[in-house]
């Protein structure tokens, strides 16, 4: 799986490559600049000119190297050093001399020729070393890049679009918007998390000689990007001599009048994700409607009426007998005792439990109930539900997605799936995984219910947490991506994902 590194971790990896593996730092910059030049060339039209904007740090050094390679290839190149050239790093200074040796001297930014269609602008102003909002000449340069892009020039960013904060993926104003971003050595949060990811355009990670071993020296939180191979490899093989008992029985506690579709979608998603059997437990008045959605769904009626509460504990314990996973929450009738009921239920069972939707809102009233859990627990909040769990606003959650997901996972000793664009999977051990699949077409009612069903099915088949969650989230997003090709982002609805899951499994079973 791909490691995602913060700016500090990048510096640690660079140090390790130099000190432990004898990698000269000049060579890292040389490799970075060469890859940058190649990306720039791939974007140019016939006869297009390259404008390379270099900042005062090592990012600028990468730009100077790229300019040299472009010149060597016979291209028309103009270079500008923006800011105080007296502050250049020693490595950048050497590359400035080398460039001058090729007969090209940087020009003042203000006198650069305009760029337009066919031309390429190389943004090497700031990379991981950006500390504050760009001002003065830097802001002017970023504004000019935007104007040239509007005029039709392509923009390739060295490492990170300038103005974008590498660790948080939050842009300052102003910030470069790139067509291509060349990520040196490792991808960074800015490439993988929104809103940064959208500002990067197409991200091309290139090796620059840091070596995979260099991450051993890296401290702090461990961030990864989920890869398709990791997700696919988790799936159990369906053996020829297997039977429905081999693949687990999921209990779904979901649905109420007006929300019977939620329960049906959880159940159908579990069935479409390989579960041997699926039973829905819900109030008697809702049960026939849930079951009518599909003859494969089994059901048990929960006696009593109204919100789920402590009085439902025995019936739920009975329903859980012989089950391999629990999914609870979508569309349940919630009341003052629902959170306590969930706590007691989790204390009485050892199979994995997925809590979603109103089960999350119920436990938000007293998170302590989750500490009673005997078995592994997966929480799948969307940002609004996470805000309730965490006692802050949705905006706060979105501004600190990685930290919030990790804190919740660690403090409650659970796995957390924080949904939304670039869904995060955080495990109690300190690792956070970023999911690259999914699209804005999935912003439609019921897609979350489908996800909780997929999670339940994979857990019932014996895939442990957090891997089951990673695989489910990846597959669910990929199902959305494949179905968006048929329905469009506008037309995609949650039940399309049930079809899409079929496409995912077909692709993975090959
Ligand atoms: N870490 C690595 O392994 C490698 C890093 N390389 C490059 O080095 C970059 C990091 O280099 P640096 O640490 O020198 O950082 P940068 O080049 O990103 O920028 C840092 C410089 O800009 C100044 N600065 C920051 N924010 C500013 C603002 N808003 N206005 C004005 N000045 C500002 C800083 O004081 C410093 O002088 C990476 O992004 C990458 O492009 C590559 O050369 C290859 C190897
Ligand atoms: N813009 C988006 N990009 C990627 N995935 C998205 C986007 N919007 C929604 N999704 C995904 O769709 C699902 C929505 O879940 P949720 O909000 O719980 O919906 P519901 O409660 O209607 O079932 C999540 O898996 C989420 O990650
Ligand atoms: K840059």
Quickly list DSSP for 256-293: -TT-HHHHHHHHHHHHTTT-SEEEEEEETTTHHHHHTT
Read off the pLDDT of each residue in 423-445 and give the average, rounded to a whole number: 96
Same domain for 142 and 266, yes or no, is no
Output the average pLDDT for the chain. Answer: 96
For residue 142, the SS3 value is: helix
d(CA 342, CA 490): 37
Same domain for 296 and 396, yes or no, is yes
pLDDT score at 123: 98
Residue 66 Cβ inside 6 Å of ligand 1? The answer reads: no
Q: Specify the CATH number for the domain of residue 501.
A: 3.40.1190.20
Asked if residue 240 is part of any domain, the answer here is no
Asked if residue 121 is part of any domain, the answer here is yes
Asked if residue 239 is part of any domain, the answer here is no
For residue 214, the SS3 value is: helix
Quickly list DSSP for 70-104: HHHTT-EEEEEE-S-GGG--HHHHHHHHHHHHTT-
Strand pairing partners for 344? Answer: none
pLDDT score at 1: 84
For residue 409, the SS3 value is: helix
Assigned token pair, 333: 């009738």
Assigned token pair, 335: 């009341």
Using the 8-state DSSP alphabet, how is residue 474 labeled?
H
Asked if residue 351 is part of any domain, the answer here is yes
Q: Has 324 been labeled as part of a binding site?
A: no
Read off the pLDDT of each residue in 384-406 and give the average, rounded to a whole number: 95
Q: Has 59 been labeled as part of a binding site?
A: yes
Sheet holding 120-124, edge to edge: 76-81, 49-54, 120-124, 154-158, 180-184, 202-206
Same domain for 199 and 82, yes or no, is yes
Asked if residue 124 is part of any domain, the answer here is yes
Question: Which residues have beta carbons under 5 A from ligand 3 (an ion)?
Answer: 123, 157-158, 162
Which one is predicted more confidently, 254 or 85?
254
Which one is predicted more confidently, 130 or 20?
130
Asked if residue 305 is part of any domain, the answer here is yes
**Residue 84 pLDDT class (50, 70, 90 cuts):** confident
Q: Has 423 been labeled as part of a binding site?
A: yes
Same domain for 479 and 430, yes or no, is yes
- Looking at the structure of the chain, the number of domains it has is 2
Q: How many residues does the chain have?
A: 510
Same domain for 159 and 279, yes or no, is no
Same domain for 202 and 310, yes or no, is no
Read off the pLDDT of each residue in 16-45 and give the average, rounded to a whole number: 95
For residue 252, the SS3 value is: strand
**pLDDT > 90? residue 214:** no
Ligand 1 center–CA 128 separation, angstroms: 5
pLDDT score at 430: 87
Please report, rounded to a whole number, the percentage of residues in the chain having pLDDT higher than 90.
Answer: 93
Asked if residue 166 is part of any domain, the answer here is yes
Asked if residue 211 is part of any domain, the answer here is yes
Same domain for 388 and 457, yes or no, is yes
pLDDT score at 5: 96
Q: Which domain holds residue 493?
A: 228-234+245-509
Same domain for 156 and 284, yes or no, is no
Same domain for 255 and 197, yes or no, is no
**pLDDT > 90? residue 274:** yes
Ligand 2 center–CA 364 separation, angstroms: 20
Quickly list DSSP for 304-329: S-SSB-GGGHHHHHHHHTT-SEEEE-
pLDDT score at 87: 86
Strand pairing partners for 302? Answer: 283
Ligand 1 center–CA 59 separation, angstroms: 5
> pLDDT tens digits, residue range 90-130?
999 999 999 999 889 999 988 999 999 999 999 999 999 99
pLDDT score at 21: 84
Task: Report yes or no for ipTM above 0.95.
Answer: no
Same domain for 196 and 338, yes or no, is no
Which of these three, 219, 253, 277, is where a domain ends? 219
Judge contact between 249 and 319, C-beta under 8 A. no
pLDDT score at 221: 82
Read off the pLDDT of each residue in 2-26 and give the average, rounded to a whole number: 92
pLDDT score at 12: 94
Atom of ligand 2 nearest to the CA of 384: 17
Same domain for 355 and 428, yes or no, is yes
Q: Specify the CATH number for the domain of residue 107.
A: 3.40.50.10260
For residue 168, the SS3 value is: coil
Same domain for 142 and 190, yes or no, is yes
**Residue 346 pLDDT class (50, 70, 90 cuts):** very high
d(CA 467, CA 458): 9
pLDDT score at 25: 83
**pLDDT > 90? residue 86:** no
Read off the pLDDT of each residue in 259-277 and give the average, rounded to a whole number: 98
d(CA 452, CA 439): 18
- 304: Cβ contacts below 8 Å, ≥ 6 apart: 283, 311, 312, 315
> pLDDT tens digits, residue range 166-205?
999 999 999 999 999 999 999 999 999 999 999 999 999 9
């Amino acid at each position: 799986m791909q490691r995602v590194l913060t700016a500090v971790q990048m510096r640690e990896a660079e140090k390790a490559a130099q000190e432990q593996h004898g990698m000269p730092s000049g060579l890292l910059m040389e490799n970075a600049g060469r890859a940058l030049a190649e990306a720039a060339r791939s974007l140019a039209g016939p006869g297009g000119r390259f404008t390379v904007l270099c900042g005062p740090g090592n990012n600028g050094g990468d730009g100077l190297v790229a300019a040299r390679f472009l010149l060597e290839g016979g291209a028309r190149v103009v270079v500008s050093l923006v800011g105080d050239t007296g502050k250049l790093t020693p490595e950048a200074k050497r590359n400035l001399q080398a460039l001058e040796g090729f007969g090209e001297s940087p020009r003042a930014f203000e006198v650069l020729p305009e760029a337009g269609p066919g031309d390429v602008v190389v943004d090497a102003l700031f990379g991981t070393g950006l500390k504050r909002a760009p001002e003065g000449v830097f802001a002017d340069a970023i504004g000019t890049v935007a104007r040239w892009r509007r005029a039709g020039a392509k923009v390739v960013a060295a490492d990170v679009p300038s103005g974008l904060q590498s660790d948080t993926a939050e842009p300052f104003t102003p910030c470069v918007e790139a067509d291509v971003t060349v990520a040196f050595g490792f991808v960074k949060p800015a490439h993988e998390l929104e809103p940064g990811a959208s500002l990067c355009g197409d991200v091309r990670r290139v090796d620059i000689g840091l070596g995979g071993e260099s991450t051993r020296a890296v401290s702090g939180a461990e961030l990864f990007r989920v890869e398709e191979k990791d997700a696919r490899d988790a799936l159990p093989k369906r053996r020829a001599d297997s039977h429905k008992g081999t693949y687990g029985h999921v209990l779904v506690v979901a649905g109420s009048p007006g929300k019977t579709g939620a329960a049906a979608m959880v159940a159908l998603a579990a069935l479409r994700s390989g579960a041997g059997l699926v039973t829905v437990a819900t109030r008697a008045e809702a049960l026939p409607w849930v079951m009518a959605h599909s003859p494969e769904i089994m059901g048990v009626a929960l006696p009593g009426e109204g919100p789920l509460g402590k009085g439902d504990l025995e019936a739920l314990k009975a329903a859980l007998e012989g089950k391999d996973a629990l999914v609870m929450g979508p569309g349940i009738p919630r009341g003052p005792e629902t959170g306590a009921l969930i706590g007691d239920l989790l204390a009485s069972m050892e199979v994995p439990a997925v809590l979603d939707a109103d089960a999350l809102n119920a436990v938000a009233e007293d998170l302590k109930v989750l500490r009673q859990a005997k078995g592994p627990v997966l929480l799948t909040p969307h940002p609004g539900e996470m805000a309730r769990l965490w006692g802050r606003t949705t905006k706060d959650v979105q501004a600190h997605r990685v930290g919030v997901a990790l804190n919740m996972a660690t403090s409650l000793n659970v796995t957390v799936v924080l949904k939304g664009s670039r869904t995060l999977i955080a495990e109690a051990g300190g690792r956070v995984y970023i999911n690259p699949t999914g699209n804005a077409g999935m912003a439609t009612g019921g897609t979350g219910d489908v996800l909780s069903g997929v999670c339940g099915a994979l857990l019932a088949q014996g895939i442990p947490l957090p891997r089951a969650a990673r695989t489910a989230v990846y597959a669910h997003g990929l199902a959305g991506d494949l179905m968006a090709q048929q329905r469009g982002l506008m037309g995609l609805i949650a039940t399309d994902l049930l079809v899409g899951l079929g496409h995912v499994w077909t692709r993975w079973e090959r």
